[in-house]
Structure 1
């Protein structure tokens, strides 16, 4: 997370969110108790979704965006900017649904202008890496 904040502070967006080395900093340690198994399942599912999301899997991208927005029952650190960036990736995937557009609006619109700019920059990197093309702006923000 410190690397991410440093990159934002100096305006460099060369590392897309949730690269393999960053997954540990996004997922949380599950507390012991009755909800531990559920939390551990979400951590496992989130890690698998991140890998598939980077390969262009629509369902996995939706899971990653959802978990970054909600925390997936305490298994993932909430990061609305990263969630918005994944929603923008989904909007650029070519297989967007009405629900995807609604999720993009609900996640991205309440953010500040600088947060939206940051999300666009992160999404631009992801779209370039995943789909090998530039980000197309969306009116959903």
Structure 2
């Protein structure tokens, strides 16, 4: 299904409306250059409490990540990659974008480098280009400077 991959190519309003029509909602207003996780409705069952906790955590993380908080950026990248117990729609391109933001933060660890490689390297060249473009917008928005290129992809 093209939905999660194709959403990156559409305008922000279309992305928002499509997300709503799928029964999910965005955790913050969509703007150009935003790579915001799309949370899901938690399903009843054994993982419902974990899912609901992650929905709450990701909402807090989004606000902090756009203020330059590395821990929050790591949370977003992780959730976009794993889904955080069904709380977030998996989006490898957006996850890679956030890993590139972390790589540009000036506060990276060996684990951050490994996570960037593991998330970004398996993607297609087109996905990598898309992730770089999204990350470039995020770095400009968050750190008010151009993104430094990384060889980790």
Q: Same fold (TM over 0.5)?
A: yes
Structure with bigger RCO (C-alpha 8 Å, 6+ apart): 1
Alpha-carbon separation, structure 2, partners of 1:136 and 1:115: 18
Asked if residue 48 in structure 1 is aligned to residue 60 in structure 2, the reply is yes
How many residues were matched structurally? 131
> Are 1:107 and 2:110 an aligned pair?
no
What are the superposed Cα offsets for residues 84-136 of structure 1, whole Å, 9 maximum, x if unpaired? 00000000000000000000000000000000000000000000000000000
For 2:85, the equivalent position in structure 1 comes to: 73
Work out the CA distance in 2 between the residues paired with 1:41 and 1:101. 27
Which 4+ runs in 1 deviate beyond 3 A?
1-5
1:16 pairs with 34, 42, 48, which one? 34
Indicate which of 52, 58, 73 corresponds to 1:61.
Answer: 73
Unaligned runs of 5+ in 1: 8-12
More helix by share: 1
Residue 16 (structure 1) shift: 2.0
Contact preservation (8 Å) 2:47, 2:85: no
Structure 1 residue 96 corresponds to structure 2 residue 108 = yes
Structure 2: gaps of 5 or more residues: 12-30
- Distance in 2 between residues matched to 1:102 and 1:34, nearest whole Å: 31
Per the normalisation by structure 1, the TM-score is 0.87
The residue number in structure 2 matching 1:10 is none
Q: TM-score, normalised by structure 2?
A: 0.80
**CA separation of 1:27/1:92 partners in 2, compared to 1, >3 Å: closer, same or farther?**
same
